[in-house]
């Protein structure tokens, strides 16, 4: 089985809801995003999926978050904009746009700092 | 499924036992530690487990190792203090303190250099 | 289960075949390689496999690629020298040289840049 992974990032403000502590205050992060897809087979150029497509689809999606206040956005009107929920949202959106007979989104890692990462993974 | 990962580190001396080569000599490392847990569900703040708790529990445990000579410590009286055995020991201790209905320790990565890592993984 | 991972690198030229775009032009990368093996048991020194052996076997293999034009090499006479195909080739060669009752090569990650990685993984 082949896997392809790309790294990218976005910067945004957020604050956790239903939380007591520093993270309930308005703050922000440079989130680093890692998207991993599985590919069953390679095309005649030897690619599972062109990294360019993977980066483009991911960055188009992240444009919705970049330099925004996440709590104001539709996906986080009802769900606390934690790294866990960001990860799940990106996973579900990318699965819709990327999954096909050959490609399956496996995992989205959301690093909120150099030392802390939340992931949503296809079981 | 959600996964949460934190990175931390400790510095210590050790020497492998029952080994012939450089690593039988007293030396040391800045070990970098990565702890990954799985979380079934998120709380109302959108967290699987608060990174603060994960870091605190891990660092409390690593205080037993930090700036020590590992061969002198109880866990390594009988087992060579290799990165593999350090990883398994941390995995078992963290599993005892962290595992519950929602959280399961999945993996402890122990980097003894920038380019060499040993892990103990739940199956 | 124990896992051991080492990182190393090679520099080479390549161009994708059967591809339309930048990557069909002759260019090159500093590929970073990550090899992960599983180890069932540890030896009396506490090692699954000595990192020195893992690095030596991997680097001997990478000597075939380092500072070469990959398209000229036997493994890529018929297969486009994509990171995916490099990964699979390294995986298969290392599996032959390393696998035994205790050790199984699990994964070879091939980073063609800081932000793009292809992997071949044992199922």
Rounded to the nearest integer, the mean pLDDT of chain C is 97
Task: Dump pLDDT digits (tens) for C82-118.
Answer: 999 999 999 999 999 999 999 999 999 999 999 999 9
pLDDT exceeds 80 at position B123: no
> Would you say B88 and A57 are in contact if contact means Cβ atoms under 8 Å apart?
no
CA–CA dist C63, C65 (Å, integer):
5
* Chain B partners within 8 Å of A121 (Cβ): 1-3
Q: With a threshold of 0.90, does the pTM exceed it?
A: yes
List helix spans (H) across B1-123: 51-62, 83-98
Instruction: Give the chain B residue nearest C4 (alpha carbons).
Output: B118
- Measure CA of the first residue to CA of the last residue in chain A; give whole Å: 16
Sites in chain A below the pLDDT cut of 50:
none
pLDDT exceeds 80 at position C119: yes
Task: Dump pLDDT digits (tens) for B81-99.
Answer: 999 999 999 999 999 999 9
Q: How far is B108 from chain A (nearest CA, A)?
A: 14
pLDDT for residue C16:
95
Provide the pairing of β-strand C103-113 with A116-121. unpaired
pLDDT for residue A77:
93
CA–CA dist A71, A79 (Å, integer):
9
CA–CA dist C80, C18 (Å, integer):
8
- Element (DSSP H or E) covering residue B111: strand B103-113
Helix axes C51-62, C83-98, angle to 10 degrees: 130
Phi then psi for residue B29, to 5 deg, are -145, 160
Query: Which pLDDT band, with edges at 50, 70 and 90, does C123 fall under?
Result: confident
Rounded to the nearest integer, the mean pLDDT of chain B is 97
Q: With an 8 Å Cβ cutoff, are C82 and A1 in contact?
A: no
């Amino acid at each position: 089985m082949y896997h392809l992974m790309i790294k990218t990032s976005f910067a945004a403000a957020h604050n956790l809801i239903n939380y007591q502590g520093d993270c309930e205050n308005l703050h922000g992060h440079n989130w680093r995003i890692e998207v991993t897809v599985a590919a069953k087979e390679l095309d005649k150029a030897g690619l599972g999926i062109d990294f360019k497509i993977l980066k483009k689809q991911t960055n188009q999606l992240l444009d919705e978050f970049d330099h925004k206040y996440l709590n104001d956005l539709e996906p986080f009107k009802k769900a606390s904009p934690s790294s866990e929920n960001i990860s799940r949202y990106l996973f579900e959106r990318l699965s819709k746009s990327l999954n096909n007979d050959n490609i399956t989104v496996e995992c989205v890692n959301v690093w909120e700092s150099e030392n802390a990462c939340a992931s949503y993974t296809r079981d």
